[in-house]
């Protein structure tokens, strides 16, 4: 008998494995402590994954497949993937184990150890990504840094997306970012999020019984996160119809009490493979071809998936395992307690962390320019920052979380991924959001009790790294400004 593993982020009912029923194949799903406990996860993330796993297992059973499902409360649980597998191998006289390429280095290493069982062990494609693990490394061999834009152009040509028959970009440009990112219009209404009635009550009791430690809030009967392909497609189609036309315009906006704005919320569905990136990209390209959206909206969205998503995955596999230890600035400060409660007077942080804890979601700019920016300029240890990001977001899996957090946001890789640190004072936050209007601090003040803490922390960050930043053409201007301020302070 063949044992096939289905991991919690491999919920792809369209995988070729499932297209033929074979009574000699046993599919194994495992709810295990090694996965619930490697960080403190958001409760909505654990529930989303477990409901998704349970749904796919049930769907496969109904189609006639043989399925073994280990629940977190089962008494015969061995608590790690490998120890459970060893037990099942004996129980079912398994002669071959197959698994889909795992997305995490840690799990990849664990599953390699299955070879020691003396059976045939085969790793197959997860049939999801648009690049192989090693493609990016090969593309940038001998280079010190990776460049998203050149990678992205190659991907556009390779997958024939928004290019003409000569491989040139449609409408003459590869990147339409300059046409996006408009100022927020306060009179504009945001469509409500698409929601599902899910009954998570018995699962929540099981998680409590098993004493799984989690963070954040959950509504046990209603969720914005899909748990199967049908629901994932509903979220995506809702995005196409109601949100995509304004996605690019307000991509970087941040608005008091608006959690999702015009973002798609498909990252969870993509990362657990309920949706395929190419179907999403091609649907958006079609919306452009049919005149439903302009090129800037379509290209801006496609770049995130065809470009950034594949790019960060390539960096993960090129740089692991050493990437997870990098700490370029040698930051050592602990994560403030308000990351776990959202309770702080800094309104932008209270909004962004608060919604992360309430919904397991914040959009890109909140993650980068509010929460990540604060951690960076405060000198917080990237290990602590990583653990928080890996736990709190519904879409957080290490292959995508780590390069975004440790690399792009904390610059802990010294610039392999980003050409400069994403650090800013209150100036940027005031420009891109209305958070400052609801805050007790003054974004314009640098000193005194009402001064926004982002200002003091930002200039301190520039000052303590002045020597290094002077050599970076994208940062040297800020060092000059910092020197000028110091001179003025000395002479006043």
Q: Which residues contact ligand SF4 by CB under 6 A? A: 346-348, 426, 429-430, 435-436, 439, 441, 443, 452, 454
Nearer to ligand FAD, 30 or 409 (CB): 409
Which CB atom, from 7 or from 26, has the smaller least distance to ligand FAD?
7
In the set 3, 26, 28, 32, which binds ligand DLZ (CB under 6 A)?
Answer: 32
User: Taking CB within 5 to 8 Å according to partner kind, which of ligand FAD, ligand SF4, ligand DLZ, none is near residue 49?
Assistant: ligand DLZ
CB of 365 to ligand SF4, least distance (A): 13
Do 39 and 104 form a contact (C-beta atoms < 8 A)? no
Tokens representing 287? Answer: 């919306």
Q: Please, which residue, 169 or 277, has the CB nearer to ligand FAD?
A: 277
Distances (CA, A) of 179 to 118, 247, 281: 58, 12, 20
Q: How far is the CB of 84 from ligand DLZ (least distance, A)?
A: 10
| Residue 381 contact partner, candidates ligand SF4, ligand DLZ, ligand FAD, none, CB within 5 to 8 A by sort of partner | none
Residue 377 binds what, of ligand SF4, ligand DLZ, ligand FAD, none (CB under 5 to 8 Å, by partner type)? none
Residues 6+ apart with CB under 8 A from 460: 377
Among 3, 52, 69, 102, binds ligand DLZ (CB under 6 A): 102
Please report, as residue ranges, which positions from 168 to 227 form the binding site for ligand DLZ (by CB under 6 A).
none
Q: Nearer Cβ to ligand DLZ, position 217 or 476?
A: 217
**Rounded distance, CA 425 to CA 427, Å?**
5
Q: What is the rounded distance in angstroms from the CA atom of residue 142 to the CA atom of residue 370?
A: 34
- Of the residues 104, 249, 401, 413, which one makes contact with ligand FAD according to CB under 6 A: 401
Distance CA 18, CA 415 (A): 42
Please say which residue, 104 or 413, places its beta carbon nearer to ligand DLZ: 104
Degrees to nearest 5, angle at CA 18 with 14 and 22 = 165
Asked if 397 touches ligand DLZ (CB under 6 A), the answer is yes
Based on the shown chain and the rule CB under 6 A, indicate whether residue 405 belongs to the binding site for ligand FAD.
yes
Which helix or strand (DSSP H or E) is residue 6 part of?
Answer: strand 2-6
Pick 60 or 418: Cβ nearer ligand FAD: 418
Long-range contacts of 280-289 (CB under 8 A, 24+ apart): 280/236, 280/305, 281/159, 281/161, 281/305, 281/306, 282/161, 283/236, 283/240, 284/240, 284/244, 285/161, 285/162, 287/240, 287/244, 288/162
Strand partners, 26: 3, 66
Q: Using CB under 6 A, count the residues that bind ligand DLZ.
A: 16
224 binds ligand FAD (CB under 6 A): no
Smallest distance from the beta carbon of 328 to ligand SF4, in angstroms?
25
Strand partners, 42: 215
| Least distance between ligand SF4 and beta carbon 368 (Å) | 14
Considering the complex, what minimum distance in angstroms separates the CB of residue 418 from ligand FAD? 10
| Choices 98-106, 282-290, 369-377, 464-472 (CB under 6 A): range interacting with ligand DLZ | 98-106
Among 364, 387, 446, 470, binds ligand FAD (CB under 6 A): 364
Report the sign of the C-alpha dihedral through residues 310, 311, 317, 318, in that order: positive
For 200, 207, 226, 266, the CA distances from 221, given in Å and listed in that order, are 6, 16, 13, 20
- Nearest approach in angstroms of CB 52 to ligand DLZ is 10
Contact 462, 409 (CB under 8 A): no
Those residues with Cβ within 8 angstroms of residue 103's Cβ, 6 or more apart along the chain or in another chain:
9, 126, 313, 397, 398, 399
Partners of 197 in beta bridges: 222
318 binds ligand FAD (CB under 6 A): no
Nearest position to ligand DLZ, beta carbon:
8
Question: Is 285 an interacting residue with respect to ligand DLZ (CB under 6 A)?
Answer: no
Q: Which of 41, 229, 259, 367 binds ligand FAD (CB under 6 A)?
A: 367
Dmax over Cα atoms in the chain, in whole Å? Answer: 84
Interior/surface letters 46-63, b for 16+ CB within 10 angstroms, e for the rest: bbbbbbbbbbbbebbeee
Q: Quick one: CA dihedral 171, 172, 177, 181, positive or negative?
A: negative
Q: Are 4 and 27 in contact (CB under 8 A)?
A: yes
Smallest distance, ligand SF4 to C-beta of residue 84, A: 46
Residues between 371 and 390 that touch ligand FAD (CB under 6 A): 372, 389
- Rounded least distance, CB 70 to ligand DLZ, Å: 9
- Contact present, 409 and 386 (Cβ < 8 Å): no
Q: Give the one entry of ligand FAD, ligand DLZ, ligand SF4, none that residue 41 binds, where binding means its C-beta sits below a cut-off of 5 to 8 angstroms depending on kind.
A: ligand DLZ
Site of interaction with ligand DLZ (CB under 6 A) = 7-9, 30-32, 35-36, 41, 46, 49, 102-104, 107, 397
Site of interaction with ligand FAD (CB under 6 A) = 263-267, 270-271, 304-305, 308-309, 312, 363-364, 367-368, 372, 389, 393, 395-396, 400-401, 404-405, 408-409
């Amino acid at each position: 008998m063949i044992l096939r593993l289905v991991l919690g982020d491999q919920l792809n009912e369209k995988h070729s494995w499932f297209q033929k029923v074979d009574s000699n194949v046993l599919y194994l799903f495992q709810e295990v402590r090694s996965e619930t406990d490697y960080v403190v996860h958001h409760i909505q993330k654990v529930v989303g994954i477990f409901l998704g796993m349970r749904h796919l297992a049930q769907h496969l059973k109904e189609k006639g497949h043989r399925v073994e499902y280990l629940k977190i409360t089962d008494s015969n649980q061995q608590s790690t993937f490998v120890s459970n597998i060893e037990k099942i191998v004996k129980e079912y006289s398994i002669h071959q184990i197959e698994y889909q390429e795992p997305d995490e280095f840690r799990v990849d290493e664990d599953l390699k150890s299955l070879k020691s069982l003396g059976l045939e062990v085969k790793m197959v494609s997860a049939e999801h990504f648009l690049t192989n693990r090693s493609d990016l490394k090969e593309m940038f061999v001998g280079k010190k840094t990776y460049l998203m834009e050149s990678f992205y152009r190659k991907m556009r040509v390779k997958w024939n997306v928004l290019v003409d028959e000569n491989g040139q970009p449609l409408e003459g440009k590869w990147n339409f970012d300059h046409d996006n990112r408009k100022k927020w219009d306060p009179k504009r209404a945001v469509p409500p999020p698409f929601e599902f009635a899910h009954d998570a009550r018995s699962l929540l009791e099981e998680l409590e019984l098993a004493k799984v430690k989690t963070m954040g809030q959950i509504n046990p009967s209603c969720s914005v996160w899909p748990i199967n392909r049908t629901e994932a497609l509903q979220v995506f189609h809702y995005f196409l119809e109601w949100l995509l036309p304004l996605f690019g315009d307000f991509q970087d906006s941040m608005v008091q009490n608006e959690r999702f704005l015009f973002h798609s919320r498909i990252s969870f569905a993509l990362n657990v493979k309920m949706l395929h990136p190419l179907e999403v990209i091609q649907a958006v390209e079609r919306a452009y071809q049919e005149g439903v959206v302009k090129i800037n909206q379509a290209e801006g969205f496609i770049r995130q998936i065809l470009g950034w998503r594949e790019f960060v995955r390539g960096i993960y596999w090129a740089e692991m395992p050493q990437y997870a230890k990098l700490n370029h600035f040698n930051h050592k400060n602990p994560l403030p307690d308000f990351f776990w409660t959202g309770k702080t007077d800094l309104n932008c942080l209270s909004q962004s962390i608060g919604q992360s804890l309430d919904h397991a979601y914040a959009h890109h700019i909140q993650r980068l320019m509010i929460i990540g920016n604060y951690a960076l300029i405060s000198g917080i240890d990237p290990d602590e920052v990583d653990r928080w990001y890996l736990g709190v977001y519904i879409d957080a899996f290490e292959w995508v979380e780590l390069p975004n957090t440790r690399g792009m946001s904390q610059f802990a890789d010294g610039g392999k991924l980003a050409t400069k640190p994403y650090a800013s004072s209150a100036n940027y936050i005031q420009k891109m959001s209305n958070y400052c209007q609801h805050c007790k601090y003054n974004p314009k003040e640098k000193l005194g009790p009402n001064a926004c803490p982002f200002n003091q922390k930002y200039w301190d960050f520039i000052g303590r790294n002045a020597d290094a930043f002077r050599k970076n053409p994208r940062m040297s201007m800020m060092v000059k400004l910092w020197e000028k301020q110091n001179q003025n302070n000395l002479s006043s």
